Structure 1
Amino acid sequence: MEAKHISCFVLLVGFVLFQVNAEPVEDKQALLDFVNYLPHSRSLNWKESSPVCNNWSGVNCSADGTRVIAVRMPGVGFHGPIPPNTLSRLSALQVLSLRSNGISGEFPFDFSNLKNLSFLYLQYNNLSGSLPFDFSVWPNLTIVNLSNNRFNGSIPYSFSNLSHLAALNLANNSFSGEVPDFNLTNLQQINLSNNNLTGSIPRSLRRFPNSMFSGNNIPFETFPPHASPVSTPSATPYPKSKNSRGLGEKASLGIIAAACVLGIVAFVFLIVTCCSRKKGEDEFSGKLQKGGMSPEKVVSRSQDANNRLTFFEGCNYAFDLEDLLRASAEVLGKGAFGMAYKAILEDATTVVVKRLKEVSVGKRDFEQQMEVVGSIRHENVVELKAYYYSKDEKLMVYDYYSKGSVASMLHGMLHFSIFFFFLYSWSSIVLAISKTEKIKCQY
């Protein structure tokens, strides 16, 4: 009996240790084969000796750590066709982002093994040929972005079988033929511009702007919007209030009200002063766009000029300029040379981006200065991880530390001390005025 209990205990301990030290061995080998057979210009920290789920940049695993579910490697400098039988072995993969690289060749036929794929980002590459005929092999696809490649042929009608599809971007390719009638209720965004499409816009897609179909041989028709009657609310007379108070009491209440208003104004002023450096969240892409330019156009222009984020040696970040444009950002502070933002990327990576303003310097001089700043190594100085240069934008990327700012530590308590002192003093003044007016009213 005791031997049986000991055996059960050993099995239980072994099972627990297996769960703790779980490693997606097969998925790890598939990623190693992928990166070893596909040339790339940036160094990666994908090492066989390190855990894939905790250390590999751009890779996310399931909650139990047994499968790889997301691979995000934008702007790594991949060039050449995707090696067969590598990424297709990641059968639990849900997110695949290889955008802004130099990947060529046709759409990988063995991607049909990725049955759980939900998000596919392959834009800004050199992929060519026709798309797979049957996209229904990926029933969970939600976002598909294949824009800015060299795909041709017709757009597969099988997209209409993807009931979860919310966004489809096939712009800036060479697709031909008519636009399929995608009768998808969940479709929120579509972009088929700058192709060789013909025919007319299907009825199910007429709710989208004409600009999403521009650059094709498609005539635009004017569809009158559905008019809905607008009811005008009837005016309701306000009841008149009776004047039932004496003049002395009115004066007393007026003075007290004025004192309260002044107190509120002073309170708001202090709050604005204390929080002037902590503005609300905004879209970082909106800050970078000029004249309403979309992120795709910004990235396209920057890539045409070979302007990309430049990472320093040893940096393990795996994102590009488009990731920063899409990131949500919070203003951290404003200095003499620009604004600092806390940017949260789609893979939950958090960095600090300093957007320089009014810095008129050539690209060569700017790069030399950045190399000097990036070479600084000190325990009390945050290291510069990457930078970006263009004629209109100059960015510096740092690690984010969540301990707060030095300014808040030095001046935060001072602001609150002044506020409470002012609030106490003003309350005393209001109380004194109210007592004085009450005495006057008694006489």
Structure 2
Amino acid sequence: MGSHSHLLLFLLLVFLPLGKPDLASDKAALLALRSAVGGRSLLWNLTQPTPCQWPGVHCENNRVTVLRLPGVGLSGQIPSGTIGNLTQLRTLSLRVNALTGQIPADIASCTGLRNLYLQSNLFSGEIPDFLFSLHDLVRLNLAGNNFSGEISPGFNNLSRLATLNLENNRLTGSISELKLQSIKQFNVSFNQLNGSIPSILQTMPSSAFEGNSLCGGPLESCPSNGTSTNESPSNNNNKKKKNELSGGAIAGIVIGSIIGVLLILVILFILCRKNAGKKTRSVDVVAVKQPEVEIPGEKPVGEGGNGGLGSGFPAPATAIAAATAKGDVTNSGNKKLVFFRNDSRVFDLEDLLRASAEVLGKGTFGTAYKAVLEVGTVVAVKRLKDVTVNEKEFKEKIEAVGAMDHENLVPLRAYYFSKDEKLLVYDYMAMGSLSALLHGNRGAGRTPLNWETRSSIALGAARGIEYLHSQGINVSHGNIKSSNVLLTKSYDAHVSDFGLAHLVGPSSTPNRIAGYRAPEVTDARKVSQKADVYSFGVLLLELLTGKAPTHALLNEEGVDLPRWVQSVVREEWAAEVFDLELLRYQNVEEEMVQLLQVAMDCAAQYPDKRPSMAEVTRRIEEISRSTLRQEDPHPDLIDDPDDGSSGRTHSVGSGPPPSLMD
């Protein structure tokens, strides 16, 4: 018995202290990182007992698992003994800083790393081989740096890799050896690559490869190998004879060529005159009344005439042609699209004029189109209406919008301003809007939207809005609704239409958004951050109930969605609240109730009762981690697959938490 007690005491002395030193070593690593590259830009309160309370730091089981420090002014090189000591790290985001040198090799010690975001820095050198030993990587973004050298086939070792962004570097060589079986998002545009595109990547959009010398797949076909070198001597002699032309034959060829060139010039002149006539006549099309389309992306692509446009909707090309016909483009002196950041001008106004277009929908601030350029690039173009500010103020405000850079925002790539036309060019989101996904095709052929995807969308949208709010106390979205949450093919949420409310007049903010509008808002152009939180709460309720706020008038009294949810909670609890598609997921009932609690807190009647978006994001992250602890069938749908702790809550059917009844 004595020997057993001594053994037990020995084990306790050996193993119990390991928890605190682990977190202590993590804290030391973070402080070393702060000292080397952060300085005062990392406003961490060193008097707090644990680094888990520092901004950008999240922990699980007494270890740091998430470090997110985007756009905080980090500079210089990352030394060894910092990030590499955070051995339980799962997500690392240092994007949009000014970090230089090479990626520190000791990051290889973070063997559980799943998300690595290093884009928009100044890293250089070759992409290090040690990254290929991080077999759990799901997302890797190294875009917008100074990486050089070739793209190693070592990427094939990353069997779980779903996202790989390498664009805007100085990479050379070919990509023919890449065989990324799990890849869903891929981009190597604007490097110095050549050769053919491997078959496994040929389903990617052409924009993923532009700015290189690549061929095949979505780009032009690769040239053939040319004629065989194994030609017989007789064939060579015949060729020589054919090449020995007389002087008269040469003179005939020259005269014929001159005549051919003159004919081509005449034909081109006639065609240009015809095209000019067509552009002038297209002004009449713009005057056609545009039907109301509530949900962008709901209309099936390709329906209607006019190159896929619905009847009565002018394409962006038509709009620009109309402005050109009026002389507006020429007179303003602004003939070009204005691009943001370091986006290379791979197309211009004339390319948009020639693009085929499809209507995505008519929203609060104008009509959106999908434009397919002749080079294969696909963009979304929004034609603004009722812009009330002058050109100088428009440029100032829209450049502030273009400067917004977050992975959960739809990036504004370019804009065009003239007297009669204001156009915005965005990235095109393939899956359309959350509104269309939730409310479109509710019939027998519909694919249910599962809990993991819904919670991932909620988290992504929250992060995008939180980023907007972090840009200044007076910065808000002003028009949060499900049709302004757009989705990629992997269902990553991107928030759109931010910053546009200050450009338009009162006529562009109709009662159509009243279902999302906070009670205190009287002028939709002046929306506070707390009012944004209310709108986001309504969006969460829409995700959970499957009911659109504009369709929430379920009785003659005109009850809005938050009030309807509260009334049902009081009487019947969750059986009638949650979307029927969610009720099949019995193992996530607690998480559904938690998210419902967050939604109701956001939709509180009084602004001071609502949480901040930072708090909302933190709570949704905890809910997502709780879901992942139970099962992780689609890890690449969740941006942060790390786990965390959350308190016990009421399960469905047990009665609501007290605050739902307040």
**TM-score tier after normalising by the smaller chain length:** 0.5 to 0.7
> Cα distance, 1:338 vs. partner?
4.0
Deviation digits for residues 385-422 of structure 1, max 9, x if unmatched? Answer: xxxxxxxx9997559479979xxxxxxxx9968369xx
The whole-number CA distance in structure 1 between the counterparts of 2:78 and 2:369 is 37
Higher strand fraction (1 or 2): 1
Percent same amino acid at aligned positions? 33
Alignment partner of 1:96: what SS? strand
> Cα distance, 1:122 vs. partner?
0.4
The structure with more radius of gyration = 1
Alignment partner of 2:41: what SS? coil
> Cα distance, 1:177 vs. partner?
0.6
> Cα distance, 1:96 vs. partner?
0.4
The whole-number CA distance in structure 2 between the counterparts of 1:328 and 1:287 is 19
Alignment partner of 1:207: what SS? coil
RMSD of aligned residue pairs (Cα, Å)? 5.5
The whole-number CA distance in structure 2 between the counterparts of 1:23 and 1:195 is 41
One-letter amino acid of the structure 2 residue matched with residue 67 of structure 1: R
1:339 and 2:479 equivalent? yes
Q: Could you tell me whether the CA contact under 8 Å between 2:105 and 2:130 is conserved in 1?
A: no
The whole-number CA distance in structure 2 between the counterparts of 1:18 and 1:213 is 49
Deviation digits for residues 153-182 of structure 1, max 9, x if unmatched? Answer: 001110001111111110110100111422
Determine which of 74, 80, 84 is the counterpart of 1:84: 80
C-alpha change, 1:87 and 1:135, in structure 2 (3 Å) is closer
The whole-number CA distance in structure 2 between the counterparts of 1:69 and 1:124 is 23
The whole-number CA distance in structure 2 between the counterparts of 1:403 and 1:188 is 28
Determine which of 482, 499, 503 is the counterpart of 1:359: 503
Q: Number of paired residues? A: 298
Q: Which residue of structure 2 aligns with residue 438 of structure 1?
A: none
Determine which of 49, 55, 58 is the counterpart of 1:57: 55
Q: Which residue of structure 1 aligns with residue 23 of structure 2?
A: 24
> Cα distance, 1:215 vs. partner?
0.8
Alignment partner of 2:214: what SS? coil
Q: Could you tell me whether the CA contact under 8 Å between 1:128 and 1:150 is conserved in 2?
A: yes
The whole-number CA distance in structure 1 between the counterparts of 2:135 and 2:117 is 16
C-alpha change, 1:138 and 1:213, in structure 2 (3 Å) is same
Determine which of 150, 173, 178 is the counterpart of 2:174: 178
Q: Which residue of structure 2 aligns with residue 328 of structure 1?
A: 461
Deviation digits for residues 294-353 of structure 1, max 9, x if unmatched? Answer: 79xxxxxx99989756xxxxxxxxxx644444932699xxxxx94246999xxxxxx9x9
> Cα distance, 1:222 vs. partner?
6.8
Q: Could you tell me whether the CA contact under 8 Å between 1:166 and 1:186 is conserved in 2?
A: yes
The whole-number CA distance in structure 2 between the counterparts of 1:32 and 1:303 is 38
The whole-number CA distance in structure 1 between the counterparts of 2:534 and 2:181 is 42
The whole-number CA distance in structure 2 between the counterparts of 1:199 and 1:402 is 49
Q: Which residue of structure 1 aligns with residue 189 of structure 2?
A: 193
C-alpha change, 1:48 and 1:198, in structure 2 (3 Å) is farther
Q: Which residue of structure 1 aligns with residue 145 of structure 2?
A: 149
Alignment partner of 1:24: what SS? helix
> Cα distance, 1:102 vs. partner?
1.1
Q: Which residue of structure 1 aligns with residue 624 of structure 2?
A: none
One-letter amino acid of the structure 1 residue matched with residue 55 of structure 2: S
> Cα distance, 1:89 vs. partner?
0.4
The whole-number CA distance in structure 1 between the counterparts of 2:130 and 2:502 is 52
1:418 and 2:551 equivalent? no
C-alpha change, 1:76 and 1:325, in structure 2 (3 Å) is farther
Q: Could you tell me whether the CA contact under 8 Å between 2:192 and 2:212 is conserved in 1?
A: yes
C-alpha change, 1:290 and 1:151, in structure 2 (3 Å) is farther
TM-score by length of 2: 0.37
1:211 and 2:350 equivalent? no
Alignment partner of 2:65: what SS? strand
C-alpha change, 1:92 and 1:394, in structure 2 (3 Å) is farther
> Cα distance, 1:151 vs. partner?
0.5
> Cα distance, 1:203 vs. partner?
2.4
Q: Which residue of structure 1 aligns with residue 648 of structure 2?
A: none
1:96 and 2:92 equivalent? yes
1:124 and 2:120 equivalent? yes
Q: Which residue of structure 2 aligns with residue 298 of structure 1?
A: none
> Cα distance, 1:130 vs. partner?
0.7
One-letter amino acid of the structure 2 residue matched with residue 150 of structure 1: N
> Cα distance, 1:207 vs. partner?
2.5
The whole-number CA distance in structure 2 between the counterparts of 1:120 and 1:395 is 35
Give the unaligned 5+ runs of structure 1: 225-278, 296-301, 310-319, 332-336, 345-350, 362-380, 382-392, 406-413, 421-443
Q: How does 1:284-323 map to 2 (within 5 A)?
A: 308=403, 321-323=406-408
Deviation digits for residues 10-53 of structure 1, max 9, x if unmatched? Answer: x99xx99998x897111111111101221456342342534222
Q: Which residue of structure 2 aligns with residue 70 of structure 1?
A: 66
One-letter amino acid of the structure 2 residue matched with residue 193 of structure 1: S
The whole-number CA distance in structure 2 between the counterparts of 1:287 and 1:419 is 22
The whole-number CA distance in structure 1 between the counterparts of 2:80 and 2:401 is 29
TM-score by length of 1: 0.53
C-alpha change, 1:31 and 1:202, in structure 2 (3 Å) is same
Alignment partner of 1:104: what SS? strand
One-letter amino acid of the structure 1 residue matched with residue 54 of structure 2: W
Q: Could you tell me whether the CA contact under 8 Å between 2:56 and 2:69 is conserved in 1?
A: yes
> Cα distance, 1:185 vs. partner?
2.1
1:33 and 2:32 equivalent? yes
One-letter amino acid of the structure 2 residue matched with residue 135 of structure 1: L
C-alpha change, 1:57 and 1:116, in structure 2 (3 Å) is same
1:137 and 2:124 equivalent? no
The whole-number CA distance in structure 1 between the counterparts of 2:41 and 2:154 is 37
Q: Which residue of structure 2 aligns with residue 160 of structure 1?
A: 156
Q: Could you tell me whether the CA contact under 8 Å between 2:181 and 2:200 is conserved in 1?
A: no
Give the unaligned 5+ runs of structure 2: 221-294, 299-362, 371-377, 381-396, 412-459, 466-476, 486-494, 506-519, 539-552, 560-662
One-letter amino acid of the structure 2 residue matched with residue 75 of structure 1: G
Q: Could you tell me whether the CA contact under 8 Å between 1:41 and 1:77 is conserved in 2?
A: no
The whole-number CA distance in structure 2 between the counterparts of 1:49 and 1:400 is 28
C-alpha change, 1:160 and 1:415, in structure 2 (3 Å) is closer
The whole-number CA distance in structure 2 between the counterparts of 1:321 and 1:222 is 27
C-alpha change, 1:106 and 1:23, in structure 2 (3 Å) is closer
